[in-house]
């Protein structure tokens, strides 16, 4: 039986490529933002999540994260706050998924190899999670998803 | 491909008759095994099928369907050569074996053999060759690039289908058909001899496409075809011929659309959505439906994301490209919804919109957007068209100003194709039509067709400089000599075209004719003395330093503007005579003058001169932010989701599966109205070169840049390989694909990351802070005031993401501001300044910042509002801008023991980075 994966991304690149190259092994559903992702997770028991990091095609009102706090951090500059939320939205979505009590494995599409300390922190806080760098192709995505599904704790 | 044969085995005709025929001569045990083999095939358990058929074969070696089953089973496992051997054994017994053998030969890449086998089969089946054989032949001819014969076969296959009312064509068949259509289109563009025959193949092929499309219902069918196609030509053909038409609304649907519009205007989203749902239920796939849906998704506050709105508006725009409402909304979404990041995508939509609805406002908008994204030629053309076409418009003056600004401000801007005075009355309508069509085609990235149209314009009106200049511009890369003669004729008609002369200079240099380039420049400097600099450049590159110095002297004496100024100063320094007499320098100069004259050395020099990115950054550190934007785009937009497919393609080809290769071709080459990733790479390269050019520097990325040049080589290889990915011999392709993938996805990705890292990560330590303080302490308002050195609190060096120069400027401004504020209300000996550097971490994102807290004991107040509304001077505004450019922040916070802290926060970069 195919494994069910919820792809959370602002565009359609991941879902298009996944359906093109990985549909033999997985069944994919797309959520266009964090809110929709939480709603879908509430309704359907997906086996894992494949999560984009940068959400710069989502309306501001649909970005998850501490708006007021960030606006204050940037001295009241809402544009900078928005830009920050967009660039790191993946982590805020991840945080919201865990806060909502979903403990399924999450594969984050982002290269954390240059940020080992940050990655350890995120892993301890949000595990089971794994990451896959942007420069990996469909076969690597397949392997990572299968590994996540079979041994989420090893991720 | 398997299914046709499999259906035969399972029995597509009268089941019992087929069963009897197939099963004749088999014992009961053999029959049982044979049936198990067939079931295994149907369930794609190929190894099981092999086992069952093999057992039958051991005891009944001549049974044709068993041999066919064995071939199928091996084929399913991807063992093509073995499959071919089995099919060979039964070719003379069973037509399906002969057909399958042909198909496998094609899959292996033995196209000649495939054609041979299928032709023989077709002859044997004469006169009424069945559809699938014709299909096989069509694909085989296509692989041989025997396009005429492939079209003939596809037309006959289509005819056969109509006669027999056969099953709908498979996706695989359609893909082959669309590839064929693309090749026909390309051949027509190249004016092949057969094109002149009265019966062009294109209409025939469109007829086949149409019959394929008719077998599918509604928009789904069209989308399926479009998904299979990968060239805009095909998309257009599909749209025109079968279905992508804007279906008119009937009475009830019109009523629903009207109600939806009213609800949208009243911002009653739920009601509007209900009407649109009803409209969809009524079966409407009109542009009105998609457009209103897009509008709803765009305007309502709870829209999940804009990409759905974008999809709907794109659909509406595609179905009705002349509809101004949908086009404008799409343009607005792309330009206003994404902070300028997607302006380039909006440009072709707006371009089409202007072509369909030419108004002064839209034309002005096109000019502005083109200018914003760096398409200066298009911007100039748009403004000029506005001025010429609507002379009474209130926008004319503004457009004229912008043309003038573009002409002044952009070195090397494309030729202004303005109509020389007195000529407009004499230009034939036909010539104008061809010229405009050519411009449109060029804008759509179809240069070959643009050249054909431009030639027709010039043929019809040989004295029209506008068309000549345009054609020359199209030809200059591939046929510089022809371009030169066209420009020469254009100058004969209208001599005062400065930019045409500059283009001729470039073309002469491209042809390694520096003497001719210099001659052209001699004329040019009469009206544009700044071009003495270009003379100097050419002399210098030929080693003629004396002439270079003279030309530079002419530049400095005859021209006082800024164009080429910095570059001229740099060149002047490099060609200045040596301080002490060193005879070998003279000999070297003479030697270079001699050698530099030859063509080979000219090219050699071109390839080896210019700056690499790293050198450029050293020289122009302020360009970092522009370069970083483009490099990040290269890394994330070119590689992510795109070239990363290559290993998958290689693996699939090794298994004999060409599907991923076909998909990858589309992604790499583009189609469906979008650019391919190879074009995208070229555009990014062009952007980098343009950044260099804007600083008066020639970047040599393709030959000497350590990081970029190997990637350029890989993309060149990919450009050659991409069109053949799905039809070349796998054994030749796989190795090349893997090599390209390594160069681009692994080495290239890493190198680009390193380059970004090298220039933007700075270690902040006490030494750096003290350096900046010393710089500020020497400034006129502060030096001699007896200020105590600041209190520094900084632990070991921390890496932050900022460019060194920017950091020094920000900190200097903050320190200066703190000193001046404190000095304005305290005696010097009471002024205290401090710098405290601390690390902070956000537990949610795991991101760390370095906070540089600049402390003072000034009595005057400074608030965040004052900083961000720029109500203060003293360089805080500049510091804020620089901090923002590095994604940092600047705020005022309280600090125990001090009046305040102005806090600069910058992202921290971890040690392991790079």
For residues B4 and B343, what is the distance between their CA atoms, to the nearest angstrom? 49
For residues B829 and B833, what is the distance between their CA atoms, to the nearest angstrom? 11
Nearest to B847 among A10, A83, A118 (CB): A118
Is some CB atom of chain A closer than 8 A to the CB atom of B341? Answer: yes
* 3-class DSSP state of B571: helix
Q: How distant, in Å, are the alpha carbons of B2, B411, B495, B604 from that of B503?
A: 58, 12, 14, 22
For residues B831 and B788, what is the distance between their CA atoms, to the nearest angstrom? 8
DSSP B746: I
pLDDT band, very low/low/confident/very high, at B219 (cuts 50, 70, 90): very low
Is some CB atom of chain A closer than 8 A to the CB atom of B760? Answer: no
pLDDT at B411 over 60: no
Nearest to A56 among B308, B341, B641 (CB): B341
User: Per residue in B602-651, pLDDT tens?
Assistant: 455 556 677 888 788 777 766 776 777 777 777 766 776 677 778 777 88
CB proximity under 8 Å: A 13-52 to B: 13-14, 17, 20-21, 32-33, 35-36
Burial of A42 (C-beta count, 10 Å sphere; 0-12/13-18/19+): exposed
pLDDT at B420: 41
* 3-class DSSP state of B214: helix
* 3-class DSSP state of B155: helix
pLDDT at B125: 65
CB burial readout A95-104, b (16+ within 10 A) else e = bbbbeeebeb
pLDDT at B583 over 70: no
pLDDT at B523 over 60: yes
pLDDT band, very low/low/confident/very high, at B599 (cuts 50, 70, 90): very low
Q: Can you give the three-state secondary structure of B559-626, one letter per residue?
A: CCCCCCHHHHHHHHHHHCCCCCCCHHHHHHHHHHHHHHCCHHHHHHHHHHCCECHHHHHHHCHHHHHH
CB burial readout B644-655, b (16+ within 10 A) else e = bbbbbbbbbbee
Please name which of B137, B110, B139 lies closest in space to residue B126, comparing C-alpha atoms: B137
The more confident residue out of B113 and A123 is A123
The more confident residue out of B184 and B772 is B772
pLDDT at B282: 65
Minimal Cα distance from A112: which residue of B?
Answer: B913
For residues B106 and B127, what is the distance between their CA atoms, to the nearest angstrom? 24
Is some CB atom of chain A closer than 8 A to the CB atom of B796? Answer: no
For residues B517 and B534, what is the distance between their CA atoms, to the nearest angstrom? 9
Burial of B78 (C-beta count, 10 Å sphere; 0-12/13-18/19+): middle
For residues B827 and B788, what is the distance between their CA atoms, to the nearest angstrom? 12
| H or E stretch covering B114 | helix B111-125
pLDDT at B312 over 70: yes
C-alpha dihedral (B216, B220, B226, B232), degrees to nearest 10: 110
Q: Average pLDDT for residues B408-428, to the nearest whole number?
A: 44
Please name the residues in contact with B214: beta carbons below 8 A apart, sequence gap of 6 or more.
B242
The more confident residue out of B503 and A96 is A96
Is some CB atom of chain A closer than 8 A to the CB atom of B636? Answer: yes
Please name which of B834, B831, B839, B723 lies closest in space to residue B781, comparing C-alpha atoms: B831
Please name which of B545, B538, B552 lies closest in space to residue B586, comparing C-alpha atoms: B545
Nearest to A114 among B644, B843, B912 (CB): B912
The more confident residue out of B87 and A88 is A88
pLDDT at B136 over 50: yes
pLDDT at B186: 63
For residues B183 and B201, what is the distance between their CA atoms, to the nearest angstrom? 11
Instruction: Flag whether the pTM goes above 0.80.
Output: no
Backbone angles phi, psi at B143, to 5 degrees: -65, -30
Q: Which of A114, A116, A129 to mutate to test the interface with B (most CBs of B within 10 A)?
A: A114
pLDDT at A27: 93
DSSP B562: S
For residues B538 and B87, what is the distance between their CA atoms, to the nearest angstrom? 67
Is some CB atom of chain A closer than 8 A to the CB atom of B663? Answer: yes
pLDDT at B538 over 90: no
* 3-class DSSP state of B835: strand
Is some CB atom of chain A closer than 8 A to the CB atom of B298? Answer: no
User: Per residue in B223-279, pLDDT tens?
Assistant: 444 443 433 344 444 444 334 445 567 777 788 888 888 888 888 888 888 888 888
Least confident of B35-49, B145-159, B429-443, B564-578: B429-443
User: Per residue in B842-879, pLDDT tens?
Assistant: 999 999 899 999 998 888 777 777 776 655 555 577 77
Backbone angles phi, psi at A90, to 5 degrees: -55, -45
pLDDT at B303: 61
DSSP B133: H
pLDDT at B208: 67
The more confident residue out of B512 and B455 is B455
Q: If you search the block for the tokens 């019959």, which residue do you land on?
A: B211
Q: What does the block give as tokens for B214? A: 């008719």
Least confident of B22-31, B179-188, B885-894: B179-188
CB proximity under 8 Å: A 58-97 to B: 58-59, 61-62, 65-66, 72-77, 79-80, 83-84, 87-88, 91-92, 95
Largest CA distance in chain B: 116
Q: Are B101 and B67 in contact (CB under 8 A)?
A: no
Nearest to A57 among B306, B745, B844 (CB): B306
Q: Average pLDDT for residues B819-833, to the nearest whole number?
A: 85
Q: Average pLDDT for residues B792-807, to the nearest whole number?
A: 81
Angle of the B2-10 helix axis to the B64-76 helix axis, nearest 10: 140
Q: What does the block give as tokens for B724? A: 């053949």
ipTM associated with this complex: 0.92
The shortest C-alpha distance from A2 to chain B (Å) reads 16
pLDDT at B196: 34
Strands annotated E in B244-403: none
What's chain B's Rg over C-alpha atoms?
Answer: 35
pLDDT band, very low/low/confident/very high, at A128 (cuts 50, 70, 90): very high
pLDDT at B227: 40
User: Per residue in B702-749, pLDDT tens?
Assistant: 888 887 888 888 888 887 777 777 666 777 778 888 888 888 877 777
The DSSP secondary structure of B704-726, one letter per residue, reads: T-TTHHHHHHHHHHHHHHGGGTT
Half-sphere exposure of B318 (CA within 13 A, CB side): 24
Please name which of B117, B124, B120, B122 lies closest in space to residue B100, comparing C-alpha atoms: B117
Is some CB atom of chain A closer than 8 A to the CB atom of B24? Answer: no
The more confident residue out of A6 and B87 is A6
Is some CB atom of chain B closer than 8 A to the CB atom of A143? Answer: no
Interface contact flag, A118 B910, Cβ < 8 Å: yes
Q: Average pLDDT for residues B406-421, to the nearest whole number?
A: 44
User: Per residue in B649-679, pLDDT tens?
Assistant: 788 777 777 777 777 776 776 655 456 777 7
For residues B660 and B647, what is the distance between their CA atoms, to the nearest angstrom? 10
The shortest C-alpha distance from B43 to chain A (Å) reads 14
Peptide bond into A128 cis (omega under 30): yes
DSSP B305: -
For residues B226 and B234, what is the distance between their CA atoms, to the nearest angstrom? 8
Q: Pick from B318-327, B585-594, B898-907 the range whose average pLDDT is largest.
A: B898-907
Q: Where are the alpha helices (DSSP H) in B635-748?
A: 646-655, 659-669, 677-694, 708-721, 730-741
- On average, the pLDDT of chain A sits at 89
Interface contact flag, A57 B301, Cβ < 8 Å: no
User: Per residue in A21-32, pLDDT tens?
Assistant: 888 889 999 999
Q: Pick from A108-122, B333-347, B791-805 the range whose average pLDDT is largest.
A: A108-122
pLDDT at A9: 92
Chains A & B: contacts with CB separation below 8 Å:
133
pLDDT at B452: 82
Q: Are B158 and B242 in contact (CB under 8 A)?
A: no
Length of chain B (residues): 914
pLDDT at B129 over 70: no
pLDDT over 70 for what percent of chain A? 97
Least confident of A46-60, B780-794, B867-881: B867-881
Is some CB atom of chain A closer than 8 A to the CB atom of B672? Answer: no
pLDDT at B794 over 90: no
pLDDT at B473 over 70: yes
**CB contacts, 8 Å: B868 with chain A:** 75-77
- On average, the pLDDT of chain B sits at 74
SS3 content of chain B, % helix, strand, coil (to 5): 70, 5, 25
Own/partner long-range contacts of B137-140 (Cβ < 8 Å, ≥24 apart): B138/B176, B138/B177, B138/B180, B139/B106, B139/B176, B140/B102, B140/B106, B140/B111, B140/B114, B140/B115
pLDDT at B478: 75
Question: What angle is formed at CA B655 by the lines to CA B652 and CA B661, rounded to 5 degrees?
Answer: 30
The shortest C-alpha distance from B510 to chain A (Å) reads 37
Q: Are B259 and B275 in contact (CB under 8 A)?
A: yes
Q: Which of B307, B748, B758 to mutate to test the interface with A (most CBs of A within 10 A)?
A: B307
């Amino acid at each position: 039986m195919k494994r069910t994966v919820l792809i959370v991304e602002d565009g359609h690149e991941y879902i298009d490529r996944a359906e093109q190259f990985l549909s033999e092994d997985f069944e994919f559903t797309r959520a266009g933002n964090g809110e929709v992702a939480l709603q879908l997770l509430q309704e359907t028991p997906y086996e894992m999540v494949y999560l984009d990091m940068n959400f710069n095609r989502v309306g501001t009102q649909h970005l998850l994260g501490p708006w007021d706090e960030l606006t204050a951090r940037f001295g009241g500059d809402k544009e900078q706050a928005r830009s920050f939320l967009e660039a790191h939205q993946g982590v805020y979505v991840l945080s919201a998924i865990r806060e909502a009590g979903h403990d399924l494995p999450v594969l984050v599409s982002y290269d954390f190899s240059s940020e080992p300390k940050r990655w350890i922190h995120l892993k301890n806080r949000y595990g089971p999670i794994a990451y896959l760098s942007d420069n990996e192709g469909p076969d690597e995505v397949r392997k990572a998803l299968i590994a996540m599904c079979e041994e989420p704790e090893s991720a | 491909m398997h299914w046709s044969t499999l259906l035969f085995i399972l029995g597509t005709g009268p089941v019992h008759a087929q069963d009897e025929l197939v099963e004749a001569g088999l014992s009961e045990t053999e029959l049982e095994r044979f049936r198990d083999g067939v079931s295994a095939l149907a369930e794609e358990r190929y190894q099981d099928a092999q086992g069952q058929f093999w057992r039958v074969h051991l005891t009944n070696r001549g049974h044709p369907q068993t041999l066919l089953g064995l071939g199928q089973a091996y084929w399913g496992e991807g063992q093509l050569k073995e499959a071919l051997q089995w099919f060979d054994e039964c070719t003379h017994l069973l037509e399906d074996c002969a057909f399958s053998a042909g198909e496998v030969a094609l899959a292996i890449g033995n196209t000649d053999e495939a054609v041979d086998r299928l032709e023989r089969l077709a002859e044997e089946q004469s006169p009424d060759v069945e559809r699938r054989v014709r299909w096989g032949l069509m694909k085989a001819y296509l692989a041989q690039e025997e396009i005429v014969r492939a079209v003939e076969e596809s037309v006959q296959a289509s005819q056969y289908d109509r006669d027999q009312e056969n099953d709908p064509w498979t996706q695989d068949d359609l893909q082959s058909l669309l590839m064929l259509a693309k090749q026909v289109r390309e051949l027509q563009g190249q004016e092949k001899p057969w094109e002149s025959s009265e019966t062009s193949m294109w209409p025939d092929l469109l007829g086949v496409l149409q019959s394929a499309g008719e077998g599918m219902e509604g928009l789904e069918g069209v989308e399926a075809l479009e998904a299979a196609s990968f060239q805009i030509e095909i998309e257009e053909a599909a749209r025109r011929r079968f279905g992508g038409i804007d279906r008119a609304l009937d009475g009830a649907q019109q009523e629903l659309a009207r109600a939806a519009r009213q609800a949208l205007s009243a911002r009653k989203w739920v009601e509007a959505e209900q009407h649109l749902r009803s409209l969809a239920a009524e079966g409407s796939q009109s542009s009105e439906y998609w457009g209103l849906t897009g509008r709803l998704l765009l305007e309502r506050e709870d829209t999940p994301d804009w990409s759905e709105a974008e999809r709907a508006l794109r659909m509406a725009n595609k179905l009705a490209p002349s509809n101004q409402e949908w086009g404008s909304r799409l343009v607005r979404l792309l330009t206003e919804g994404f902070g300028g990041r997607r302006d380039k995508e909006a440009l072709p939509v707006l371009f089409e919109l202007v072509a369909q609805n030419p108004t002064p406002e839209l034309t002005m908008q096109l000019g502005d957007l083109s200018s914003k994204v760096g398409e200066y030629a298009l911007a100039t053309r748009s403004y000029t068209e506005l001025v010429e076409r609507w002379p009474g418009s209130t926008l004319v003056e503004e457009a004229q100003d912008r043309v003038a600004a573009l002409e002044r401000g952009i070195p090397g801007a494309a030729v202004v194709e303005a109509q020389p005075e007195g000529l407009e009355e004499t230009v034939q309508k036909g010539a104008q039509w061809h010229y405009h069509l050519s411009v449109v085609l060029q804008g759509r990235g179809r240069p070959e067709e643009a050249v054909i149209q431009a030639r027709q314009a010039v043929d019809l009106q040989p004295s029209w400089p506008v068309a000549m200049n345009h054609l020359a511009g199209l030809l200059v890369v591939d046929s510089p000599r022809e371009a030169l003669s066209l420009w020469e004729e254009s100058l004969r008609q209208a001599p005062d075209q400065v930019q045409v002369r500059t283009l001729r200079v470039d073309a002469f240099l491209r042809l390694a004719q520096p003497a001719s380039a210099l001659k052209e420049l001699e004329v040019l400097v009469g009206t544009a003395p700044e071009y003495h600099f270009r003379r100097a450049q050419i002399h210098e590159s030929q080693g003629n330093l004396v002439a270079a110095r003279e030309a530079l002297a002419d530049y400095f004496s005859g021209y006082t503007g800024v164009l080429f100024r910095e570059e001229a100063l740099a060149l002047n320094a490099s060609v200045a005579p040596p301080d002490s007499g060193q005879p070998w320098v003279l000999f070297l100069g003479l030697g270079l003058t001699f050698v530099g004259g030859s063509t080979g050395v000219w090219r050699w020099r071109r390839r080896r001169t210019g700056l690499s990115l790293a050198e450029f950054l050293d020289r122009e550190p302020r360009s970092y932010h522009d370069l970083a934007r483009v490099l990040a785009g290269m890394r994330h937009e070119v590689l992510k989701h795109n070239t990363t497919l290559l290993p998958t393609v290689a693996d699939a080809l090794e298994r004999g599966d060409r599907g991923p290769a076909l998909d990858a071709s589309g992604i790499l080459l583009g189609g469906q109205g979008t650019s391919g990733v190879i074009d995208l790479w070229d555009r990014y390269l062009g952007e980098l070169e343009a950044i260099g050019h804007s600083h008066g520097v020639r970047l040599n990325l393709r030959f000497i840049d350590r990081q970029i040049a190997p990637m350029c080589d890989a993309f060149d290889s990919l450009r050659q390989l991409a069109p053949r990915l799905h039809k070349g011999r796998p054994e030749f392709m796989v190795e090349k694909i893997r090599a390209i993938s390594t160069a681009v996805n692994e080495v290239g990705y890493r190198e680009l990351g390193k380059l970004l890292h090298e220039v933007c990560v700075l270690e902040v330590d006490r030494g750096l802070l003290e350096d900046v303080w010393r710089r500020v302490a020497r400034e006129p308002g502060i030096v001699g005031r007896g200020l105590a050195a600041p209190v520094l609190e900084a632990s070991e060096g921390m890496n932050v993401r900022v460019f060194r120069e920017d950091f020094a400027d920000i900190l200097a401004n903050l320190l200066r501001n703190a000193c001046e504020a404190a000095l304005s209300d305290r005696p010097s000996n009471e002024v205290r300044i401090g710098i405290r550097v601390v690390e902070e971490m956000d537990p949610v994102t795991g991101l760390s910042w370095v906070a540089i807290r600049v402390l003072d004991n000034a009595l005057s107040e400074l608030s965040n509002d004052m900083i961000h509304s720029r109500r203060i001077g003293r360089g805080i505004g500049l510091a804020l801008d620089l901090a923002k450019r590095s994604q940092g922040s600047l705020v005022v916070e309280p600090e125990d023991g001090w009046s305040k802290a102005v806090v600069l926060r910058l992202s921290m970069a971890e040690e392991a980075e790079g």
